[in-house]
Amino acid sequence: MQADTTEKQRASGKGAKQTRAGKLRLPSLDDLDKRTAAYRDATALIDRVISERGGADQVDVVRAASAETWAVLTTQLRALQVEWLNGQMVDWSEFTTIANARRREGEMLGAPEPKDITPQSMSDRIMAGNNG
């Protein structure tokens, strides 16, 4: 019975690690080698997207997950673009599928909060008037 369970876990748990109790633990971005350019690119995008939407304390869990997915998809697209620019063959149907998924994820994520450009004081208004 144990062998059957282990085989099922291997078959269904691609990339998953087992806990001490033998249960599967899903991998996350935190499990990756943080030295890779792809990891750094994706996490920088995540940070920027969340920052543009008011910061981590203002973003709900759904938008945070969407930001992560959008950033990983963007990183995948960049990698495919670099491959093509280096003269390698690229599966354009894969590229289009990823691009469409990124677009849909971006729609779910929503636009960033507009920046407030209102002068903060009368002196700011006067200074703005003198510069124009």
Contact 8, 37 (CB under 8 A): no
Contact 114, 129 (CB under 8 A): no
Q: Determine what percent of the chain is predicted with pLDDT higher than 90.
A: 49
Q: What are phi and psi of 18, to 5 degrees?
A: -95, 145
Condensed to tens digits (0 to 9), the pLDDT of residues 48-102 reads 999 999 999 999 999 999 999 999 999 999 999 999 999 999 999 999 999 999 9
Q: Which CA distances in Å does 122 have to 1, 31, 117, 125, 129?
A: 77, 51, 14, 5, 11
Question: For residue 9, is pLDDT > 50?
Answer: no
When comparing pLDDT for 59 and 39, which is higher?
59
The amino acid sitting at 27 is: P
Instruction: Provide the sign of the torsion angle of the four alpha carbons 48, 49, 53, 58, taken in this order.
Output: negative
Q: What is the pTM of this model?
A: 0.65
Q: What are phi and psi of 67, to 5 degrees?
A: -60, -40
Question: For residue 3, is pLDDT > 50?
Answer: no
